[in-house]
Amino acid sequence: MVQIDAKSGAPVPPPPPPVKTPSPRVEPFVTPRPAADVFEAAPAPTPFATPARPPTPTPAPTVGSPVTPAVAVPAGPVYWGGLAEAQLSAFQQEQATGRNDCADYTIAAAMNMLYGGAAQGKDVARAADLGNVLFGYRLWPNGPTTPAQHANLVNDIARQGGLPVSATALRATPAELVGLLQQPDTVVVVTIGWDDAHVPEIARASDAATRASGGAALQINAHAMVLAAFDPGHRDANGNPAPWGFVNSWSNGGSELYWMPDADFQQAWAHDIPLVGAHNAVVITRTAATGGSATATATPTPSPNATPTPTPPRPGA
């Protein structure tokens, strides 16, 4: 219907059609993807975090299972085989300058201690050079010898010479070392290490200072010696206790062993040697008595052959 303006009498034009406002576009909600900042360190776990599940309880030991008794360090002196220091120091042979043969010389000393023979450290070292890493004797000619290679060489000498001797590389405690020192038909070799800032005291009572030194490549200083005595009453040149005594390859014979204070030995034996670790020992045992015992003066017998021909190790060796 047309509307008339009351004042002018003119028709009123119709109003313009309403403008339709478009409704806003609704974007679908998308959950953002988690992203990790590669430069942000992961949060450190707190020591009081509750475990995801309770730990598995330790089963009770089987009734009747053997339990290894704790080894107590004796208060009195213990010397290998009941021998005097001068008798034990007679087993010492000096390795050549520039050579890395301490492990080989301990093998010769051990064979002579068990058999009363005259095995030569230089002959064992020559065999180790010929065999080196291919035969499990040492890492390279005139190179270091790991405790496992040390045991391999002893076992090959015994096998080729028909000797009832076996060697095992293991880790032990100081108390266990003293316990092994008291066992018959047993010789223990220890491998120690140090860096240039912690050179231990290894000296005879007549030495004014330690015979050990640093300077090895990458400060990997390591040395193997035969444990020959534990004597809490022994004193070094300065009057300080030095209870650990060793047959050492730094001199020929003589009347003195090489000794270490307890703190020096504990630190050097606990030193983490690359590829070797710490608290290393090689236990060499005469598996069948052939006259004599490690608890008394050994009965002289023919010297074992200390120059084995390198042969490939047996499977699993």
Nearest one of 185, 136, 183, 178 to 156, comparing CA atoms? 136
Tokens linked to 103: 């492990």
Per-residue HEC secondary structure of 157-195 comes to HHHHHCCCEEEEEEECCHHHHHHHHCCCCEEEEEEEEEC
Q: What tens digit of pLDDT does each residue of 78-102 get?
A: 999 999 999 999 999 999 999 999 9
Beta strands in 74-215 (DSSP E): 78-79, 165-171, 186-194
Q: Which helix (H) or strand (E) holds 106?
A: helix 102-115
Q: What is the pLDDT of residues 269-282, one digit of tens each?
A: 999 999 899 999 99
**CA dist 219 → 198, 211, 214, 268, 280 (Å):** 10, 17, 7, 13, 19
Cβ atoms of 110 and 224 within 8 Å: the answer is no
- For the ranges 27-36, 74-83, 108-117, 226-235, the lowest mean pLDDT is seen at 27-36
0.85 surpassed by pTM? no
Q: Residues near 161 by Cβ (< 8 Å), separated by ≥ 6? A: 304, 305, 308
| pLDDT per position as a tens digit, 208-237 | 899 999 988 889 999 999 999 999 999 999
Residue 204: partners with Cβ closer than 8 Å, 6 or more residues away: 211, 251, 254, 256, 257, 258, 259
Exposure string of 191-202, with b = 16+ CB inside 10 Å and e = fewer, is bbbbeeeebbbb
Rounded to the nearest integer, the mean pLDDT of the chain is 78
Q: Where are the domains of the chain?
A: 78-286
Which are the contacts of 276, defined by CB distance < 8 A and separation ≥ 6? 146, 147, 191, 193, 222
Instruction: Tell which wins on pLDDT, 295 or 144.
Output: 144
Residue type, 66: P
pLDDT digits (tens, 9 = 90+) for 178-198: 999 999 999 999 999 999 999
- Residues 8-21 pLDDT 10s: 777 767 777 665 55
pLDDT of residue 72: 63
Mention the CATH class of domain 78-286.
alpha beta
